[in-house]
Each structure stands twice: as C-alpha cells, then as structure tokens.
Structure 1
Amino acid sequence: MKKLFILFLLLIPAFVQAQTTPKEVYIFCYFKGSSADGLHLAASTDGLKWTALKNDSSFLKPAVAKDRLMRDPCIIKGADGLFHMVWTVSWNDKGIGYASSADLIHWSEQQFLPVMAKEEGARNSWAPEVTYDAKSKQYMIYWATTIKGRYPAVDSTAEAGYNHRLYYTLTKDFKTFTNTKLLYDPEFNIIDATIVPQGKKFIMFFKDETLKPVQKNIKIAYANKLTGPYKQTDPKITGDYWAEGPTTLQIGKQWFVYFDKYRNHKYGAITSTDLKTWKDISDEVQLPSGIRHGTVFKVTAAEYEKLKAVK
C-alpha cells in the first residue's frame, strides 16, 4: 500500500501537466525596430495574452538581399510538416525572402525569390504571405508591388508615387514557381493581404492604402478560389485610426484580427463571430513591447515546449 501511495504521488505532476498543457498553441511571428535582427516569436493559448519567446531575441537573422532585412514575416505549417516562411527583404527590391524549418529553431539556408524580376518597372515587393490550397495541393505566395505607370490614375503623386496591387505565384515544393500574375486589383492602392480558408471559400483581409480621400484601414474580400477573383463585400472593419498588417486567428467560432496601429505606435485587435459585427478588444490584448507587422499560426504542444526551452 505504501508503494502504491508513493507511485500515486509521483504521478500527480504528470497528471496535472496533462490537464494544463493545451493540445495546440498559437504563435505570433513578428519583427521589431528596423527588422535587421530578424525573426521574433511570441506564444498564446487564448489569443489574448502573448508572451515573447527566447527573451524576445531573434530566432533567425536575415541573410539575403542587399538590405538584409526581415520585415513582415509570414509562417505557415505546410502539408509536408515543415514551417514555411516568407518575408520582406528590402524597401525597394524585386524579390522576397524564403526559408523553411522543421521546428522553428533550425532553419534552411535562406533564399531570395525574384518574384518581380521580369517586371522592369517594379519598385518593390512588400509584405509577402503564403496560403496553402488543400484542393490543388499548391501554395500561393502573394505580396504587394508598385509597377511604375501601371495604375497611374489613383494616388499617382501621393506617398512617393506608390500605387500597389497584389500579385502571386504558385508552387508545390518551393523549388519551382509559376509565372507571377495579378491577384487583386480593387481599383485602389492595396497592401498587406492575408488569406485564410473559410469553408468552401477564401477570405482576404487587406489594407486599403488610399490616401486621398484617406482610408488607411482594414477591409475584407471573398473568393471561391484561392487565386480569385476576389470581391470586397463590406466597408472597413477597423476604426478611425490608421491600421496595417492584419493577421487573423479563429478560435472556435470567434475570429480575431490583429493589426499594427502604426501611427499610435501600438497594436490593435478586433473580434467577431460572424465577420460582420466587430468589437474592438485592443485593451484586452497583451503583446510584446515594440511588436511590428507579423502573422499568427498554430503549433502543437510538443513543438511549443521545444520553442519555450530555447534560451
């Protein structure tokens, strides 16, 4: 009996841990400052309280392109079990960065993907993201680019003449890529798109970059296929402040959209259960100090424990 009692005592910590360890954890990847130090990660189990990992130091330093930046990181877990990341390498470049990892700790050699190299007038390749299409078994990488003279009618002289549209390329293995194509032209300046599946449709959250008359807010568009065509269905979902870099998370029936209130030097968040009526929960969300444009994705409890152990 005494041995059984001792065994019971020994099993209590494991039982308690099993009851408290979630099946999955949400990870926020982001950059800080100029982004020259690279990739930062934070974790959450409820979408509200986010804790920086590795003492908020970099998990991966940028190593490609002339400017060596790692802005706007986007990570997804692919059908192959690997984490795939794309990012902005420069303010003015015709390509983006790419790397993969099995554990978010050890990364492949970084690559420069020249996605706009064939467009002589391309000025930039900003805020790339990647979404997987289970039906076609392809990944779509998409980003915002200004091509000189391509859309001169709107905001052609505003903000240094930037007038973005969204472009994309498809890949099954991140080794070969289709030719770059136009993804979305809403007939205004658009950046910072993030696309997630919603049932049989795809939903795009994006920034309306229009300056005259001022917008600078987050809107939604829908499509039946990942590659579009997309159609905006609702007015802005953010408030009377400038917002950019949306990323979204769905927990049960509740949608969270996080975004950078970049003029206010802080992050904001809104939530909805129907994608129509939105509630501002910015004051309820705790994020690491200095966090900038990034994306949210899920990991398993085991993957999180390994991340948490990194010093």
Structure 2
Amino acid sequence: MKKLLCLYLLLALCCSCATTKNNATDEEVYLFSYFKGNGDGLHLAYSMDGYNWMALKNDSIFLRPTAGNDKLMRDPCIICGGDGKFHMVWTVSWNEKGIGYASSEDLIDWSEQQFIPVMEHEANARNTWAPEITYDDKNKEYMIYWATTITGLYPETQSAEESAYNHRMYYVTTKDFKTFSDTKLLYEPGFNVIDATIVKDDNQYVMFLKDETREPAQKNIKVAYSENLAGPYSSAGTPITGNYWAEGPTTLKLNDTWIVYFDKYRDHAMGAVQSTDLQNWTDISDQISFPQGMRHGSIFTVTKAEFDKLK
C-alpha cells in the first residue's frame, strides 16, 4: 500500500523534500522533519491542516547522528522515493566536505548512516550545508543539492563578515545512493546563496532559496524558476519574506495556496508566508504553531497507517 501511494504521489506531483500537494486526506498525514539545538538528531512533527504542527514522541529523537567526524544532524530532508522508501540527507558538520544519508521503510528503523563526500574532490571547499533531495520521475533518479563555499570563487560577492562564507549551490545525481555523478554547479544567482529547495509545479520547477548576502544584509527568501530540474534557473525575484532574517524554506501546497515555512532564526521562532500565484505573498506567521525550539527541515506525506506506527 505504501509503495503504491508513494508512486502515485511521485507521478502526480514529483515528490520532493518540500512536497507540494492538496489537503491531506483521511488516509494521509503531513510530517515535518526538523532538528533542535546545534543538530541533535531527527525530530518529527505532524499536522492535518498545514497550520498546527505537533511533535511526535514528546519531541524525542527518532535518529541520532553517527555520520561524519562532527556527528551533527542539521537540516534533515526526507522524501518518499521512487522505490517506496524514505530517503534522508542532512548536514553532518559545519566544515566537512560531505553530507549524511540514510533510508528507512517506516521512519523508525533506519539503514546504516553513510557519509557521502560530495565536495571531497575540491581542495578549497569549506563546507557542505543544508542538502536536499528532489526525485526526477522523468529520468528515475534523485538530485541531491547543497550550498558550498569554495575559497577564491566569486570575489565580487565576497564579504569579510560571517567568516567570509560565500556560497553557491551544487548538485549530484544518483539512482541508488551508491554511485553518484560528478559534482556540478546548480545555481549561481550573482549573490551568496544557501538553503535551496525545489518542487515541481505543472511544467516548471520552483526553487525557494535564501539570499545570504550580509552587506547590505538580505537574509531573506526568494524564488527562481526553471523548465528543467537541473536548470538553468531564472534570476531570483524580490523577497517573499519580511523585515526579519529567514532561512531553511520548505513548502506545502494546500489546494491552490502555497505555504512556505522558514526559520526566523534570530527570533528563535518559525515563520510562514502564503500565496495563490507565487507572486503576491502574505505573512501568516501568527497563524501557525510549531513545537518549541524547532529548527528548519522539510515537509513530506505519510499514510495514516504509517503515522499510527510512529505514534
């Protein structure tokens, strides 16, 4: 039953870390993967309406990190894959040249955690942050993408602030999470960019991203578009978030309304904006609720039967 449901969602909506679909049916539940603190492990919250989110298992940890040297688990991104399994990637360290990966049939028992050295080939790479996965149902493969600073590149957007990080988005593709393509540049928008998440909308791909520019500060969420998953993507539009610093966007489409959730990390709170046309956005942060201390992650859908096991 689970595999049939996952395949249906993939064909209809191109399942991704930030799943876009209509209201959950009586047989479906929305889940939000997230972390707390500096990256303590995988937490899960659930919602039936996309506005009120409640922690599962008293906000305890579902999976503790073991991959990488620093053994962090930040920015956990989970999707339901083309094989009916749940696949997760995450940030394992502030400065290592790879990401964490694990899979599960039920979100309870997980495979051995892997360290995937996606930037190990690049001597001047400083980090691999906030990886995400989008499934390409056309090519039957997964695209994993993340932000990396490579020292010396893009000096025109270099700042001395914030440890002189100056990120761009990179990616690899894989069909089995065992062999991977060469690492390639995904998005160079002309500014310091992190936290991209990509969803399919009809015949186009929508990328929500964070403009990480420090001088003058942007620290907001913007949107870019492409006809192809791997790009090229358009220039980023104007900010869709307000007068606060936001990061870690993930999205859900409820009927005809897009909701983009994000981390108001300076305010130690989650926020959200919504739109019916991807152009005009309204801040609805005061209409949503999340577990206390929650940090950003991703949204995906499970069956009611799978949810009952998690409880």
Q: TM-score, normalised by structure 1?
A: 0.91
Count the aligned residue pairs: 288
Structure 2 counterpart of 1:41: 44
- Contact 1:28 1:295 survives alignment (8 Å): yes
Structure 2 counterpart of 1:285: 288
Instruction: Specify every segment of 5 or more residues in structure 2 that has no aligned partner in the other structure, as ranges.
Output: 1-23
Structure 2 counterpart of 1:8: none
Matches within 5 A, 1:44-59: 44-59=47-62
SS of match in other structure, 1:303: helix
The answer to whether structure 1 residue 61 and structure 2 residue 51 are counterparts is: no
Q: CA deviation at 1:157?
A: 1.8
Summarize the Cα distance change of 1:174–1:271 in structure 2 as closer, same or farther, 3 Å threshold.
same
The answer to whether structure 1 residue 139 and structure 2 residue 137 are counterparts is: no
Q: CA deviation at 1:158?
A: 2.4
Matches within 5 A, 1:202-281: 202-232=205-235, 234-281=237-284
- Contact 1:155 1:212 survives alignment (8 Å): no
Considering only aligned residues, what root-mean-square deviation do their CA atoms show, in Å? 1.1
Q: CA deviation at 1:35?
A: 1.4
Structure 2 counterpart of 1:181: 184
Structure 2 counterpart of 1:4: none
**Aligned counterpart in structure 2 of residue 109 of structure 1, from 90, 104, 112:** 112
Q: Deviations over 1:127-168 (max 9, x none)?
A: 000000111111000000000101122133221110000000
Q: CA deviation at 1:232?
A: 2.7
Q: Deviations over 1:271-292 (max 9, x none)?
A: 1111111111111101000000
SS of match in other structure, 1:160: helix
- Which of 1 and 2 has higher RCO (CA within 8 Å, sep 6+)? 2
Structure 2 counterpart of 1:25: 29
Q: CA deviation at 1:23?
A: 2.0
Instruction: Specify every segment of 5 or more residues in structure 1 that has no aligned partner in the other structure, as ranges.
Output: 1-19
Structure 1 counterpart of 2:10: none
Q: Work out which of the two has the higher radius of gyration on C-alpha atoms and give 1 or 2.
A: 1
Q: CA deviation at 1:233?
A: 5.2
Greater Cα shift, 109-118 or 276-285: 276-285
SS of match in other structure, 1:259: strand
**Aligned counterpart in structure 2 of residue 297 of structure 1, from 296, 300, 307:** 300
* Letter of the structure 1 residue corresponding to residue 152 of structure 2: G
Structure 2 counterpart of 1:90: 93
State how far apart, in whole Å, the 1-side matches of 2:133 and 2:27 are.
24
State how far apart, in whole Å, the 1-side matches of 2:102 and 2:156 are.
37
* Letter of the structure 2 residue corresponding to residue 85 of structure 1: M
State how far apart, in whole Å, the 2-side matches of 1:21 and 1:191 are.
33
Q: CA deviation at 1:21?
A: 7.6
SS of match in other structure, 1:283: helix
Summarize the Cα distance change of 1:113–1:233 in structure 2 as closer, same or farther, 3 Å threshold.
closer
Q: Deviations over 1:186-233 (max 9, x none)?
A: 011000000001111100000000011211000000000000000135
* Letter of the structure 2 residue corresponding to residue 31 of structure 1: F
Q: CA deviation at 1:41?
A: 0.1
Q: CA deviation at 1:64?
A: 1.1
Summarize the Cα distance change of 1:301–1:157 in structure 2 as closer, same or farther, 3 Å threshold.
same
- Contact 1:94 1:122 survives alignment (8 Å): yes
Q: Which of structure 1's runs of 4+ aligned residues deviate more than 2 A?
A: none
SS of match in other structure, 2:290: coil
